[in-house]
């Protein structure tokens, strides 16, 4: 059986002036498919097997190629946008004919030279296309355990649930809304800690570290912020959680913990107006 969008081994059935025609050795398809003459190895003969990728050419004909595409049906891949058009974006997948990413399959605005995490699928017209909607293509059988570090790509954002992450481009991951400190966008690469593993195997992630390291990191953020603002800020314990999150990328609780740590170490002091550095860091 010949499968569109997959690398497979086929048998040479006949030779012509324009190339060789291939078919499945065990389960012959209805029609033989062409491997163009420009890609036929000189030693290839009738009855030989050859590994090819099967797709459709610019005239929508099923054709074989010995070139290895950057993506096949199944695994996900990050592909570069080479062009945007009224029907969607076209991606470089390593073949002569670029791969279409239709508008309806995009999770965000896509621009030329962007990189998109996509899957390959066959549309209703029996054509190969790309999709950024990969939720149902990810696995829940990851090898990771609680508190281990992982990396992945944000492929969708829903403010009710959080940031959906493809861990290793394979596994389900989610940064819950309450863990979304800072700015996030579809396509961002993130390093995170496995905060929890759900009964269904999906990973709950945190971009924050363990409690001790969180305080260390948050304290540095506050000091860096103060240095940029001439050692002073009007942000204090009475500031709104929204303002603290917007300006410093942390929760109000984390802010209070880090401020307490810095005051104890003599790095900052509280004033009637907010916070002030007591010594300069290099």
Quote the pLDDT of residue 268.
87
Question: Is pLDDT at 282 greater than 80 in this prediction?
Answer: no
The average confidence (pLDDT) of the chain is 90
Tokens read off for 279: 């010594």
CATH topology classification for 7-65 = OB fold (Dihydrolipoamide Acetyltransferase, E2P) (2.40.50)
**Phi, psi torsion values for 226, nearest 5 degrees:** -65, -40
The phi-psi region of residue 60 (left if phi > 0; otherwise alpha if psi is between -120 and 50; otherwise beta) is left
Residue spans per domain, the chain:
7-65, 77-135, 138-206, 211-277
Stretch 62-85: mean pLDDT, rounded? 96
Between CA 55 and CA 69 the distance in angstroms is: 10
Stretch 236-241: mean pLDDT, rounded? 91
Q: CA–CA distance from 120 to each of 26, 101, 188, 215 (Å)?
A: 26, 9, 20, 42
Q: Which residues of 27-38 are buried (b: 16+ CB within 10 A; e: fewer)?
A: eeeeebbbbeee
Quote the pLDDT of residue 211.
44
CATH topology classification for 138-206 = OB fold (Dihydrolipoamide Acetyltransferase, E2P) (2.40.50)
pLDDT tens track for 137-173: 999 999 999 989 999 999 999 988 999 999 999 999 9
Cα four-point dihedral sign 21, 18, 96, 47: positive
Top-tier CATH class for 211-277? mainly alpha
The domains spanning 77-135 and 138-206 adopt the same CATH topology: yes
CB-based contacts of 26: which residues, under 8 Å, 6+ apart? none
Between CA 1 and CA 162 the distance in angstroms is: 42
Quote the pLDDT of residue 147.
87
**What is the CATH architecture assignment of 77-135?**
Beta Barrel (2.40)
Question: Is pLDDT at 280 greater than 50 in this prediction?
Answer: no
Give the CB-side neighbour count of residue 121, counting CA atoms within 13 A.
14
pLDDT tens track for 185-229: 999 999 998 999 999 999 999 886 544 445 578 888 898 899 899
Quote the pLDDT of residue 125.
87
Burial of 115 (0-12, 13-18, 19+ CB in 10 A): middle
Q: Give the model's confidence band at 42: pLDDT under 50 very low, under 70 low, under 90 confident, else very high.
A: very high
Question: Is pLDDT at 279 greater than 80 in this prediction?
Answer: no
């Amino acid at each position: 059986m010949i499968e569109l969008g997959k690398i497979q081994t086929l048998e040479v059935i006949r030779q012509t002036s324009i190339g060789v025609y291939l078919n499945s050795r065990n389960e012959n398809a209805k029609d033989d498919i062409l491997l163009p003459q420009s890609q036929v190895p000189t030693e290839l003969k009738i009855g030989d097997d050859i590994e090819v990728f099967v797709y459709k050419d610019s005239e929508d004909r099923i054709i074989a190629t010995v070139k290895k595409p950057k993506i096949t049906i199944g695994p996900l891949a990050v592909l570069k946008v080479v062009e945007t058009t009224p029907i969607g974006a076209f991606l470089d997948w390593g073949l002569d004919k670029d791969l279409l990413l239709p508008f309806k399959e995009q999770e965000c605005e896509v621009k030329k030279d962007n990189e998109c995490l996509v899957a390959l699928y066959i549309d209703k017209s029996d054509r190969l296309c790309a999709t950024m909607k990969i939720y149902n293509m990810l696995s829940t059988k990851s090898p990771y355990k609680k508190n281990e570090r992982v990396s992945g790509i944000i492929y969708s954002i829903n403010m009710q649930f959080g940031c959906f992450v493809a861990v290793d481009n394979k596994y389900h991951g989610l940064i819950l809304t309450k863990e979304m400190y800072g700015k996030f966008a579809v396509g961002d690469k993130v390093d995170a800690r496995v905060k929890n593993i759900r009964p269904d195997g999906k990973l709950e992630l945190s971009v924050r570290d363990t409690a001790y390291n969180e305080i260390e990191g948050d304290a540095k953020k506050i000091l860096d912020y103060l240095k940029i603002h001439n050692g002073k800020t009007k942000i204090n314990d009475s500031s709104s959680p929204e303002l603290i999150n917007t300006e410093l990328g942390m929760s109000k609780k984390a802010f209070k913990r880090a401020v307490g740590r810095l005051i104890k170490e003599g790095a900052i002091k509280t004033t009637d107006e907010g916070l002030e550095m007591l010594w300069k860091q290099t």
